[in-house]
Structure 1
């Protein structure tokens, strides 16, 4: 991979060509000086080449940081807009349609029950209640006819009054029984209507509970989508930062021997790139040239340790899940997420298992900080958690308007 291959598409073509021309000129000058025997000038050309390459990497790092910040803001804006659209759809479409359906069911039941009650009342009121003739009244009427034919009108008149009293008492008793039957039938109808109302209330409660469960399931799915999207964005940013750091390490390793030969030619501007904090290069003192005197052993030169700062996130162009680098990054990121909140794609999880099986036990170094973005009030080094119904977990940047927790009753 050549210089500037990391996100070279973000560098203007004119500046890229100018940078490549400068590199070619310095390389040619260094080669010509070495060929002519001017090693001091060749050394200066190599130092300028190193400075130019590090400056170019610094420009790439600055552009990368700005682009990462912009992409994180765009991702948060997209998540907030998706959450607002989800809330508006459920409040204005889903729940409004369910309430309209419930209102239609209640009005239909109320209208039908009212019609049934009035029809029963009109039917029972229109019925004529007559007393049934008994054996005693029939026998007394026959006796009354016989007395009338015999001329016993006084006895017949008395018997007639007695029959009328018996029939009036029977009619009153039949009317009371009929009223009791009417009240009993009305009471049965009201009880049936109450059972229908309770059944409708249970159905309405089940419909609302199912709607709440559906909303909660869709909200959880949206949360998983946001969490996965943010994780992928963070992993991609980290891979791009790692590639850029590898380029810087390659440049420093290439020119480290020249720096040790003549430390007076190394300027502080060569290490000004702000990719991560590096310890200064320790150069041993030059040995004496002529006298053979006892000298203390030279100080041991330790090369600078690799950076322990976690890589910054990288958006697009990261390797597919089948690459070992992506599997290692995914394993390191998901190892700190609780099992209840861990969301790993099936293909990525399969690749992680494959590389862990064929490459032996995975060893991951502890990182000094966290690669997840944190809020000002969050603890340093806490990892970003998922969208949650209640409260913030760690330093995940929550949107301004968030749905309240759903409680299905």
Structure 2
């Protein structure tokens, strides 16, 4: 998986409670189609069941619809909260999507982010991570074609097996959510999974990046495996415009609503601003970018210094700006940021430099060629005139 830095979004999504939810979901689908057209490689869609903002409860349903609108972008669950699901049912849904998308689905898993979701299901928050591990290890066995019989505190399987083999060999990519605690890194290392670092630019999450990646690598070695940095995905928010002033003006549309929700509901929260303007505090701390493509490049450079060779940068979809400016932000990223990390213009830049440095010689040759053409043309015209004159004299003499 190592290679060019991939890019995409992590779509929770975040929709304020003062707008129509049906239209909001339709815009999310339209956004995925737009990203596909702009050449983004990945989109991860969340699962949430409470608090009113993150209104996609089934990422699998959303992915099924998005897959029919797109042609190349890969679509991941970001994430399926495994303690909420029987592992056989979760495995079957992903393998069905693997076939429906012809290999474009990715399986992101986690314990469940919102405590209010777990409360409604009667699940103790303290048990969520252990249940995630129990479920995932069963799902991986099912993906491999095993027949599983197991009884746990919260689910029972009897001779359970998948009736469809995966479309993807050996099975769809699996990635585990990782933020501050080491649990995600341990699980990824043990089973050689990808990692979704969902708080990569939050101060605590940023500080934990190298630690958790090191844990994953060491755990992988202990289990006879090797971690691929290409399967490491870092998530952070950005909004881009032509100028920093334009970007700041555009996010007035929805930044404060998002900040209130994210800061009060999300366990990771927001960095304390210490009385500063919230946008200034976010930018200065490195938690998010509200600026230009150059600012986005600098942020990714900062992350690459922390974790060299990581595989993908995922922008946290936030709806800070209206939909048209949001699409424009992603377009600017595709036009000016992606080429930087793909080295897409190296050959063009070298060609321009070569042509510029040798322009005197080339222009001189071109001007000389033009002059020769003019001289040749004049000579041809003179020859035609002489020939016509000789014909006229000959005709006159004959008369």
Higher relative contact order structure (alpha carbons within 8 Å, sequence separation ≥ 6): 1
Q: Report the structure, 1 or 2, having the larger strand content.
A: 2
Q: Report the structure, 1 or 2, having the larger helix content.
A: 1
- Relative to the length of structure 2, the TM-score reads 0.20
- Relative to the length of structure 1, the TM-score reads 0.20
